């Protein structure tokens, strides 16, 4: 088996709050292989953001081990982690986080600029990424000239432009209307079909069911890990096949 993109072993995260310790994660273990499309679900307070921050190398576990694309993140300082984030993870946030007063194309070129890619090549790749999310006719628009759904599509283009091994999305449809939600989820499905590895954090069942595997958190623990696509058996018994189970299979030979 190839090396998993995410390998989390018995990860716990506690916060000391005066006399009280809050146990946000209580021993989470999971593996996510290249090409998987996974939703992490749970109600408010279940530990989703805490897990997201750890998966995104924005925070460190109190206990346990996390390997991102084979890299043990404990060994690195903040500067190195920033570099690892740039190379390994494309982030999509609920609030889009585009750079204001900066055109769509320049927003999408940013990760490539950090990576030292030359100007012409940046432009070529950013244009291609924007076309891939249906924004090829909005290259010169400012964020303020785009709808929420369009801004989020630009944010997805920015997240994929450097082809990171992991696409990590935290409530990406949380600020979108139903139609834009469908557009953005269709883009994730298409990226997944191209072999990208996607971890989508959401509290909405309809959103989670667009993924091919759903991991459910309650009170800092994984209580369910269910495949929706009849793919390779997971360690936890698979449940019913809900809507969305008929998405096209990922081409695992494609680059993530
Ligand atoms: P979710 O994203 O699923 O709503 P969180 O991961 O944000 O859940 O929070 C899980 C638990 O950890 C909650 O009880 C929350 O209050 C607590 N928590 C999260 N971040 C902190 C923090 N920085 N300091 C103290 N407690 C925190
Ligand atoms: Mg949260």
Sorted by sequence, the CB contacts under 8 Å of residue 104 that are 6+ apart come out as 130, 135, 138, 139, 140, 141, 142, 143, 146, 154, 157
Q: How far is the CA of 205 from the centre of ligand 1 (A)?
A: 21
pLDDT, tens digit, for every residue of 152-194? 999 999 999 999 999 999 999 999 999 999 999 999 999 999 9
Using DSSP's 3-state secondary structure scheme, residue 39 falls into strand
CB of 166 shorter than 6 A to ligand 1: no
Dihedral sign (CA 81, 86, 248, 146): positive
Confidence of residue 231 (pLDDT cuts 50, 70, 90): low
CB of 197 shorter than 6 A to ligand 1: no
Q: Is the pLDDT of residue 31 over 50?
A: yes
pLDDT, tens digit, for every residue of 85-117? 999 999 999 999 999 999 999 999 999 998 999
Q: Residues 121-130: what's their mean pLDDT? A: 98
Which residue matches tokens 């490539």? 112
Question: What pLDDT was estimated at residue 229?
Answer: 75
Instruction: Tell me 10's DSSP state.
Output: E
Percent of the chain with pLDDT over 70: 89
Instruction: Give the relative orientation of helices 178-193 and 148-160 as an angle to the nearest 10 degrees.
Output: 20
> Residue 82 has which token pair?
């920033």
From the CA of 43, the nearest ligand is 1
> Residue 231 has which token pair?
């793919």
Q: How far is the CA of 181 from the centre of ligand 2 (A)?
A: 19
Range with lowest mean pLDDT among 39-48, 138-147, 168-177, 232-241: 232-241
Q: Is the pLDDT of residue 252 over 90?
A: no
Percent of the chain with pLDDT over 90: 86
Question: What pLDDT was estimated at residue 2?
Answer: 78
Q: How far is the CA of 15 from the centre of ligand 1 (A)?
A: 8
- What residues flank ion ligand 2 with Cβ within 5 A? 48-49
Q: Is the pLDDT of residue 145 over 60?
A: yes
CB of 20 shorter than 6 A to ligand 1: no
- Which helix (H) or strand (E) is 9 found in, with range? strand 6-17
State pTM to two decimals.
0.87
213-218/63-68 β-pairing: unpaired
Q: Helical H runs in the chain? A: 48-55, 78-88, 104-114, 119-132, 148-160, 178-193, 205-208
Q: Residues 212-225: what's their mean pLDDT? A: 97
Q: How far is the CA of 46 from the centre of ligand 2 (A)?
A: 8
Confidence of residue 1 (pLDDT cuts 50, 70, 90): low
What does the alpha-carbon distance between residue 139 and residue 141 come to, in Å, rounded to a whole number? 6
Q: Which atom of ligand 1 lies closest to the CA of 47?
A: 6
Question: What pLDDT was estimated at residue 81?
Answer: 94
Q: Residues 200-221: what's their mean pLDDT? A: 96
CA 86 from chain centre, in angstroms, equals: 13
Question: What pLDDT was estimated at residue 171?
Answer: 95
């Amino acid at each position: 088996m190839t090396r998993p993109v995410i390998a989390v072993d018995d990860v716990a995260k506690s916060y000391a709050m005066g006399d009280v310790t809050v146990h946000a994660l209580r021993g989470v273990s999971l593996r996510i292989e290249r090409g998987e499309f996974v939703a992490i679900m749970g109600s408010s307070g279940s530990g989703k953001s805490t897990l997201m921050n750890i998966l995104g190398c924005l925070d460190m576990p109190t206990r346990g081990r996390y390997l991102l694309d084979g890299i043990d993140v404990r060994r690195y300082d903040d500067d190195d982690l920033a570099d690892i984030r740039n190379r390994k993870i494309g982030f999509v946030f609920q609030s889009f986080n585009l750079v204001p007063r900066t055109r769509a194309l320049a927003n999408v070129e940013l990760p490539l600029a950090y990576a030292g890619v030359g100007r012409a090549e940046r432009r070529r790749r950013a244009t291609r990424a924007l076309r891939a999310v249906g924004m090829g006719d909005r290259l010169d628009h400012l964020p303020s000239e785009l709808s929420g759904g369009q801004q989020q599509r630009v944010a997805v283009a920015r997240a994929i432009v450097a082809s990171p091994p992991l696409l990590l999305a935290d409530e990406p449809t949380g600020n979108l209307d139903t139609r834009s939600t469908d557009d953005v989820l269709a883009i994730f499905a298409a990226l997944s079909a191209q072999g990208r590895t996607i971890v989508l954090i959401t509290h909405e069942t309809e959103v989670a069911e667009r993924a091919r595997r759903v991991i459910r958190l309650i009170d800092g623990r994984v209580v369910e890990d269910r495949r929706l696509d009849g793919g390779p058996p997971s360690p936890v018994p698979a449940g019913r096949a809900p809507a969305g189970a008929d998405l096209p299979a990922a081409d695992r030979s494609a680059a993530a």
